[in-house]
Amino acid sequence: MAAEDDGKEYRWETGYEKTWEAIKEDDDGLLDGSVAEIIQKAKRKRMLERKSNARLGMMRHIFVVIDLSECMADQDLKPTRQICTIKLLNAFIEEFFDQNPISQMGIIVMKNKRAEKVSDLTGTAKKHIKALHQVESMPCGGEPSLQNALEMAMRSLKMLPSHASREILIILGSLTTCDPGDINQTINELKEHVIQCSLISLAGEVHICKALAKATGGQFGVVLDDAHFKDLLLLHVEPPPAAAKLEPALIKMGFPHHVTGAVGQSKDAPMLAICMCHLDVPSECKLSAGGYFCPQCNSKYCELPVECKACGLTLASAPHLARSYHHLFPVAPFAELPFNAGDKNDPCYSCQRSYSASKDKNIYKCGRCLQIFCVDCDIFVHETLHMCPGCASHPSTTSQLK
C-alpha cells in the first residue's frame, strides 16, 4: 500500500542489503569507532536536510495526545510503555519550552474510548510536568478513540488566531481505534483548519495513522526501541515549516521588567499582592511585592512568558524571543574534507584538538570564514551553539543576518 502511496518500498521489498559490511573493525579489532562514525553520519545527514530561511511556524500551539489504553501496559518498552512514554515526554517538554519559549502546549489522554484533557493550552512547562505526573499513576484501560481526541484538540485549536501554527502530536500504543463516527470527516476538518497531525506509534504501522499524518502534513513514525522513540519525539522540538495558509501578523506583546519587592521604601514601591498566575491554586499562592507587571493593565505575574489573564497581552522578555532566533538563522553546514595525516594541519579552530589519523577521517570547513573544525565541534556548533566561532571572530562575518 505504501508503495502505491509514495513510491517507497517496504524494507522487506527492497534489494538484498549487506548491512554488516558497513561496520568494520579498526586496528585494535574494535567496532566502537565505526559505530560512532555511522551515528555521526546520520546526524550530519539530518543537519544537511534542514533548510535555512524557510518560513517556520514560530508561535506553536501543540496538543500532545497520550494513549492510555490497555496496550500501554505492555512491557516491550521498559518498564512499561506508559512509564517509558511519560519519562521521555518529561524530557521532551523541557526541551520544547527551552527551544520554543513563546509556544503553548496542552495534553490529552485517550482511554476507555474517551478523550480527557489533563492540561489546557498554556506556556508553562511546570503545569505540564505536574499533569504528566498524574498521568503516570493513571491506570491503563479500554480502547483509545483517535477521533474523540482529535475532535477535542481541534475544538481548542481552531479558535486560535490565524498566525498561530497548530499541531497535534499523538503517541499511540494501540493498533485499533474505537470511533463514534467517520474519522475521514474529522481528517478533512483538520485539514481545513490547517492543523498538522503527527503520530508516533509504539506498535506498528496502521493505515489510518499514516493517512492522517499524510493528509495533514505531519510525520508518522514507528518506534524501534526507546532510543529511537526519543529521537522521534525530539524531532518535534524543531518548529515545523509554516503552512501556506498561515497568515503572518504583527502580534502585540508586552515586555514587563522585573520589580523587586522592597516594601514601603518609596511611594512607587509595589504593594503586597498575590500574583495572577497562582490565583486558582490557593495552596501555592504567595504574597509578595515583587514580580512582573503587565505594562497594559498592571496585573502581576511571578513568571514569564505568560498570557495576561486580564487583558490577553502576551508577556515575554527579550531572551525568550532570542531563544528562538537560531531556528530562523541556522549556521550553514560545513563542507566535509578528507583528512590527510601527511599534511601540516593546525589544530581544530575552536577546541584546539590536534587531528589524528585514527580518529579523524574527515575535517570540516566553514564556507564563510574558511576555518577548519573537527567533527565534534562541527556537531556541537550546529546542534547546540548555533553560531560559528570562526565567523564570530571577524568583523566582516560577524552578523548572521546578512
Does 370 bind another protein (CB under 8 A)? Our answer is: no
Q: What's the CA gap between 171 and 7, in Å, rounded?
A: 26
The answer to whether residue 139 forms part of the interface with another protein (CB under 8 A) is no
How far apart CA 169 and CA 285 sit, in angstroms, is 33
| Closer residue to another protein, CB minimum distance, 81 or 320 | 320
Q: Where in 101-130 is the site for another protein (CB under 8 A)?
A: 121
All residues at 6 or more sequence positions from 124 whose CB lies less than 8 Å from its CB, including other chains:
97, 277, 303, 306
Tell the smallest beta-carbon distance from residue 164 to another protein (Å). 8
What value, to the nearest 5°, has the Cα angle with vertex 330 and ends 327 and 333?
Answer: 140
Residues 214-243 touching another protein, rule: CB under 8 A, are: 242
Question: Which stretches of 308-388 are DSSP H helices?
Answer: 318-328, 375-380
Q: In the numeric block, which cell numbers belong to residue 249?
A: 501578523
342 binds another protein (CB under 8 A): no
x-marked contacts with another protein along 12-51 as a string, rule CB under 8 A: ----------------------------------------
What radius of gyration do the chain's Cα atoms show? 25
What is the distance between the alpha carbons of residues 102 and 93, in angstroms, rounded to a whole number?
13
Report in angstroms how near the CB of residue 252 gets to another protein at its nearest.
6
Q: How far is the CB of 142 from another protein (least distance, A)?
A: 26
Consecutive H or E run containing 11: none
Q: Which of residues 56-95 bind another protein (CB under 8 A)?
A: 56, 58-59
Instruction: List the grid coordinates of 247.
Output: 497568515
How far apart, in whole angstroms, are the C-alpha atoms of residue 348 and residue 368?
16
Q: How many CB atoms lie within 10 A of CB 163?
A: 15
**Residue 159 within binding range of another protein, rule CB under 8 A:** yes
| Residue among 125, 160, 273, 302 that touches another protein (CB under 8 A) | 160
Interaction residues for another protein, span 295-324 (CB under 8 A) = 295-296, 307, 312-313, 316-319, 321-324
Minimum CB separation from another protein for residue 68, in Å? Answer: 24
Rounded-to-integer distance, Cα 159 and Cα 150, Å: 14
Can you tell me which of 278, 326, 359, 368 binds another protein, judged by CB under 8 A?
326
Query: In this chain, which stretch among 133-141, 261-269, 279-287, 389-397 interacts with another protein, using CB under 8 A?
Result: 389-397
Q: List the one residue from 79, 204, 248, 342 that touches another protein (CB under 8 A).
A: 248
